[in-house]
């Protein structure tokens, strides 16, 4: 798929549910308004749309949420997409998860063909973890990560660097990832959830990186994950460390992704627009050709870059909070 600006798009982030069993401060309110169930696509509708996108050129699908592993029967969708992997119509199926239910699912995910998972983990201190996630249990997440690695999946850890994040927490994550054999990616807080008022990077990762360089040897690498992160190798651990910097350094020029919310809205840019409804046409019986035409028209309008830093977006109520968009 080629968008209106000539960018090659082959990656779909599919949010399977808005609900989550954690309440991360930077993502959602303490008592969020979750969507009525009939607004959320069924797993069959998700598989149908995913296959339509594959037919148009999507090669990689990442399941996200909310928390994908709290969706009832989510394995049926994963096993269906696993068949597409086996047949070669999909090259990669991955997931971003908070890890709390991974211990239960890891073997089945691996059996369905999943080779990699990203696990969000912002601190290895259980009290800090519980405060950030408003009640998450660190031990469950660590057990989940161990189970995923035990099932043969590569685990990448994602950590959001928030206003006030202590650098010692990041040092500890780097050292732990080194011992466990996981890569780590640091993410700048985007102006959403509790931080929707931010008008500049709350904590630019440039500053964090300079601080880390006092203690770690960060060697340049050409490695690219296919996403927005820019990586270095930590010489002391041999693991990669990535930086996702949507605010301090945008990476929209090479954006290769689409997002489908759990309500069936196709969102072309995380920080831009309200998206295009696919659920209505799908439920009204639109043909595959009609759906493809709607998708291509939306793709032609894909924005050149996000609007996180413009007053209009900052002042507008968020159309799609992160837990509906899936990050």
Residues of span 53-72 touching ligand SAM by CB under 6 A:
64-65, 67
Listing from the earlier edge strand, what are the strands of the sheet with 240-244?
A: 218-220, 230-234, 240-244, 183-188, 154-161, 116-120, 92-97, 60-64, 11-15, 257-260, 265-267, 276-277
Contact 236, 216 (CB under 8 A): yes
Could you give the CA distance from residue 221 to residue 118 in angstroms, rounded to a whole number? 20
- 129 in contact with ligand SAM (CB under 6 A): no
Q: Of 189 and 276, which has the nearer Cβ to ligand SAM?
A: 189
- 323 in contact with ligand SAM (CB under 6 A): yes
Could you give the CA distance from residue 304 to residue 283 in angstroms, rounded to a whole number? 31
Q: Of 237 and 261, which has the nearer Cβ to ligand SAM?
A: 261
Q: Which residue sits closest to ligand SAM, CB atoms considered?
A: 327
Q: Classify the phi-psi angles of 142: left when phi > 0, otherwise alpha if psi is within -120 to 50, otherwise beta.
A: alpha
Q: Strands 92-97, 240-244: parallel, antiparallel or unpaired by DSSP?
A: unpaired
Q: Strands 230-234, 240-244: parallel, antiparallel or unpaired by DSSP?
A: antiparallel
Please pick, from the candidates 94, 97, 165, 203, the single residue that binds ligand SAM as defined by CB under 6 A.
97
Q: Minimum distance between the CB of residue 297 and ligand SAM, rounded to whole angstroms? A: 27
Sign of the CA dihedral running 119, 28, 21, 258: negative
Q: Of 97 and 261, which has the nearer Cβ to ligand SAM?
A: 97
- 192 in contact with ligand SAM (CB under 6 A): yes
Q: Minimum distance between the CB of residue 212 and ligand SAM, rounded to whole angstroms? A: 19
Per-residue interface string for the shown chain with ligand SAM, residues 98-127, x marking contact by CB under 6 A: x---------------------x-------
Q: Minimum distance between the CB of residue 81 and ligand SAM, rounded to whole angstroms? A: 17
- Return residues touching ligand SAM (CB under 6 A): 20, 26-27, 64-65, 67, 96-98, 120, 158, 160, 187, 189-190, 192-193, 195, 322-323, 326-327
């Amino acid at each position: 798929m080629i968008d209106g600006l000539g960018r090659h798009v082959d990656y779909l982030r599919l949010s399977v549910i808005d609900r989550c069993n954690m309440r991360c401060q930077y993502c959602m309110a303490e008592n969020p308004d979750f969507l009525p169930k009939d607004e959320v696509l069924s797993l069959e509708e998700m598989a149908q749309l995913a296959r339509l996108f594959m037919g148009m050129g999507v090669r990689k699908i990442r399941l996200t949420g909310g928390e994908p592993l709290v969706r009832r029967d989510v394995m049926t969708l994963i096993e269906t997409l696993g068949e597409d992997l086996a047949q070669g119509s999909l090259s990669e199926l991955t997931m971003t998860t908070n890890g709390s239910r991974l211990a239960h699912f890891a073997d089945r995910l691996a059996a369905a063909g999943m080779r990699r998972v990203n696990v969000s983990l912002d601190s290895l201190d259980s009290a800090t973890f519980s405060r950030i996630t408003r009640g998450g249990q660190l031990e469950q997440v660590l057990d989940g990560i161990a189970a995923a690695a035990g099932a043969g999946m590569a685990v990448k850890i994602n950590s959001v660097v928030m206003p006030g994040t202590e650098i010692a927490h990041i040092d500890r994550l780097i050292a732990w990832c080194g011992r466990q054999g996981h890569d780590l990616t640091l993410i700048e807080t985007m102006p959403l959830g509790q931080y929707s008022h931010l008008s500049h990077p709350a904590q630019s990762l440039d500053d964090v990186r300079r601080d880390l360089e006092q203690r770690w040897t960060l060697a340049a690498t050409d490695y690219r994950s296919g996403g927005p992160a820019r990586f270095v190798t930590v010489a002391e651990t041999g693991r990669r460390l990535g930086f996702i910097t949507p605010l301090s350094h945008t990476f929209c020029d090479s954006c290769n992704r689409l997002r489908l919310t759990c309500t069936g809205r196709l969102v072309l840019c995380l920080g831009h627009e309200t998206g295009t409804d696919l659920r209505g046409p799908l439920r009204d019986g639109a043909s595959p050709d009609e759906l493809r035409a709607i998708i291509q028209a939306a793709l032609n309008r894909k924005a050149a870059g996000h609007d996180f830093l413009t007053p209009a977006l900052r002042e507008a109520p968020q159309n799609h909070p992160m837990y509906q968009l899936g990050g």
